[in-house]
Every structure is written in structure tokens, then in C-alpha cells.
Amino acid sequence: MVELNRAMAVAMAFGPEVGLALLEPLEEEPALRGYHLLPAARGDLLSRLGRRAEARAELLRAASLTRNERERALLLARAEACLAPAGG
């Protein structure tokens, strides 16, 4: 989880592409395999890059992994926002 937080901090400082590169190896970490915040973070960074279809898929995956109803609702809303016209 420390590396996930680090990747997001680096993304804030150096851009979403750099953050995505740091998240990539975390996908193989057994401890993070079912952790909903990993695909949520990927979805956020992909969205910032305008890669809306990929972002939506990651946010939907994150929603499917959480047991918290409020988090699920937030993630689903963010996924649906990816369908909205760009700039709107």
C-alpha cells in the first residue's frame, strides 16, 4: 500500500503517465490483487490522460472489489462520468 500511495504522489508531481508506470508492477503483488484502490487509482490516472474507456473499466473493476456501499456508489458514478461527452 505504501507503493500505491507513492505512485499517486509521484503522479501528482510528475504526471499521470509516470504514476501509471509505477502502478503497473503492483498489479502482480498478491497482497494488492483484490484491493479495490489499485484499480481505482489506475482509473483516476487513466481518466486524467483522457483514456476514458480504460478508466471506466478500471473504475468498474474497483467497484466490484469493494464491500463498502458508499465507495461502490462513488466508483460507479465516476465510471459513468467517463461516458459523458468530453468537456461536459
Over the stretch 6-20, which tens digit does the pLDDT of each residue have? 999 999 999 999 999
Percent of the chain predicted with pLDDT > 90: 90
Model pLDDT, residue 87: 63
Over the stretch 27-52, which tens digit does the pLDDT of each residue have? 999 988 899 999 999 999 999 999 99
Mean pLDDT in residue range 61-75 = 97
Domains in the chain, CATH or no CATH each: 2-81 (1.25.40.10)
Mean pLDDT in residue range 76-83 = 96
Model pLDDT, residue 88: 53
Distances (CA, A) of 41 to 68, 88: 17, 22
Residues shown for the chain? 88
Grid cell for residue 52:
476514458
